[in-house]
Amino acid sequence: MPEGQILCMTDVAFRWPGKSSFALKVPGFAMSRRESVMIVGDSGSGKSTLLSLICGTLRADSGTIEVAGAELGALSAAGRDRFRADRIGVIFQQFNLLPYASVRDNIVLPLMFSANRRKRAGDMEAEVLRLCRAMGLDDAIVASPAGQLSVGQQQRVAVARALIGQPDLVVADEPTSALDQKAQAGFLDLLFAQMHAAGSSLLLVSHDERLGRQFDRVERIESIARTERIAA
């Protein structure tokens, strides 16, 4: 992996199993450290599959995917899980918070799976409060069950969870889809401020091109990946 890059994909191919399936090919795609990139594409265009390959939840059939100096294809499934816990923060489209767990317990969840990330977080309780305040959440919310929060508040908790422990790369799958345009802009302002503070790179996928103004680079999924529907 060239110096200064956080992500490098070369000749990557993946096909979902089954007689009728979906195949994705990425000839080449790279990101620099601290860079913010948005990938735009319609639903079903392969954006989520691409993120899953980068996170290591899916293993490419061929080619190489290097993240923060590690070649994901050389790691076992358990090794990819450990690597993801250490180095990657994920913001899911549906947030995937534990509804009955407190905001605090949701935010620190990644630290339970990574001693390295826990060490980088330092004082865990102080870092939870810092992130909540930075994301515009009141201190009183920390003890509240996540399921009792508004959609906007849950979204900010999901960002705090992704950023705790300063991951090298944060990937976000349509994180603003549930918000109106004004709320989207405010959310991205908060997200970018914390990304810069953590020194993390950001890869966000969306169908909404209007979000692109704050990113270092905007790419269409068609310029990165080729997709193919394979009929039975």
Digit-coded pLDDT (tens) for 115-133: 999 999 999 999 999 999 9
Tens digit of pLDDT for each residue in 67-94? 999 999 999 999 999 999 999 999 988 8
Largest CA distance in the chain: 55
- For residue 58, is pLDDT > 90? yes
- For residue 143, is pLDDT > 80? yes
pTM of the model: 0.91
Two structure tokens written together for 75: 């790691």
Give the C-alpha separation, 105 to 169, whole Å: 22
Q: How confident is the model at residue 45 (pLDDT cuts 50, 70, 90)?
A: confident
46 vs 20, residue with greater confidence: 46
Residue 91 · residue 51 · CB < 8 Å: no
Give the end-to-end CA distance of the chain in Å, rounded to a whole number: 38
What pLDDT does 32 receive? Answer: 96
Other beta carbons within 10 angstroms of residue 157's beta carbon come to 26
Residue 23 · residue 225 · CB < 8 Å: no
What pLDDT does 22 receive? Answer: 84
- For residue 19, is pLDDT > 60? no
Residues above pLDDT 90, as percent of the chain: 67
**Number of helical (H) and strand (E) elements in the chain, helices listed first:** 8, 10
Distance from the Cα of residue 211 to its chain's centroid: 16
- For residue 181, is pLDDT > 80? no
For range 185-189, the mean pLDDT: 83
Q: Look at residue 217 and give its three-state secondary structure.
A: strand
DSSP 92-130: -TT----TTSBHHHHHTGGGGG-HHHHHHH-SHHHHHHH
Q: How confident is the model at residue 231 (pLDDT cuts 50, 70, 90)?
A: low
Q: Count up the domains in the chain and report the number.
A: 1
Residue 15 · residue 68 · CB < 8 Å: no
**Residue type at 6 in one-letter notation:** I
Residue pointed to by tokens 């994909």: 9
Residues above pLDDT 70, as percent of the chain: 97
Residue pointed to by tokens 């954006």: 47
For range 132-140, the mean pLDDT: 91
What pLDDT does 2 receive? Answer: 74
CATH number at residue 73: 3.40.50.300
Two structure tokens written together for 209: 């091109």
Two structure tokens written together for 67: 């993240």
- For residue 137, is pLDDT > 70? yes
Q: Which domain does 160 fall in, by range?
A: 5-230
**Residue type at 193 in one-letter notation:** A
100 vs 18, residue with greater confidence: 100
Burial label, 122 (beta-carbon count in 10 A; 0-12, 13-18, 19+): exposed
